[in-house]
Amino acid sequence: MKNKNLVLGIVGVVGVLFIALIFGYNKSETSKIEQKFTNIDEPPFIRDHSIRFGKNGENVTIVEFMDPECESCAIFHPIVKKVLEENYEDVQLVVRYMPNHKNAPNVVKILEAARVQGKYQETLRIVFDTLGIWANHNNPRPELLWEHLPKVEGLDIEKLKKDINNPAFEKIIKLDMEDAKALGLTGTPTLFVNGQKLETLSYEALNTLVLLEIVKQEK
């Protein structure tokens, strides 16, 4: 099992409790969530419409609530991607929406329309890479995003413009926001690994939590 020896070494040397202290996990808050919502495969963590990545061979699910107009989400995105790629066979990443910013709901619709064409990840990369252009706090110009979307190879822009009007996307946003509220979320990005909330936004914290869950599933 890839990375298993590394995880066992970490656990053996410093102990799980020490790791938890180092990475700042808030166990009391996590326990409250787990007591209320015991199954990661059910709402409010995952819905049928939720996009998923990874083969999930070890039944480890990362759920990310994100806002495509959120600077922190854009900054943390490469870390989530890295952890997913390193553990692709063992985990799945589920993306949920919490579009709190003004233009975010429209960008969610763009992402979902791109998903129809199988270009979700490529489009999300462009959205985050150009965030400082179209979502500048001092002078937001969301229309500029459309100038960069043609950079997504194979993306049919005319079809995208039609598909963003799909009323199903409004329902997705509404349900995701309701689920975020049920979980008591207030900001983005917020991530859970098998129902345990990630309290520190770092590669080390996310990767450690994922690897510990993988080892736990193997027992």
Residues 165-190: tens digit of each pLDDT: 999 999 999 999 999 999 999 999 99
Our count of domains for the chain comes to 1
Q: Kindly report the CA angle at 56 between 76 and 121, in degrees rounded to 5?
A: 40
The reported pLDDT for the residue numbered 216 is 92
The reported pLDDT for the residue numbered 29 is 52
Per-residue pLDDT for 24 more than 80? no
Cα–Cα distance measured from residue 29 to residue 72, given in angstroms and rounded to the nearest whole number: 22
Per-residue pLDDT for 105 more than 90? yes
Cα–Cα distance measured from residue 216 to residue 196, given in angstroms and rounded to the nearest whole number: 13
Q: What CATH number does residue 166 fall under?
A: 3.40.30.10
Cα–Cα distance measured from residue 33 to residue 13, given in angstroms and rounded to the nearest whole number: 29
Mean pLDDT of 42-64: 97
* Sheet architecture: strand order including 51-53: 51-53, 91-97, 60-66, 190-193, 196-197
Pick the residue with more confidence: 199 or 22? 199
Cα–Cα distance measured from residue 217 to residue 219, given in angstroms and rounded to the nearest whole number: 6
- Paired tokens of 20: 């938890």
The reported pLDDT for the residue numbered 19 is 42
Instruction: Assign 21 a pLDDT band (cuts: 50, 70, 90).
Output: very low
Residues 31-40: tens digit of each pLDDT: 455 556 778 9
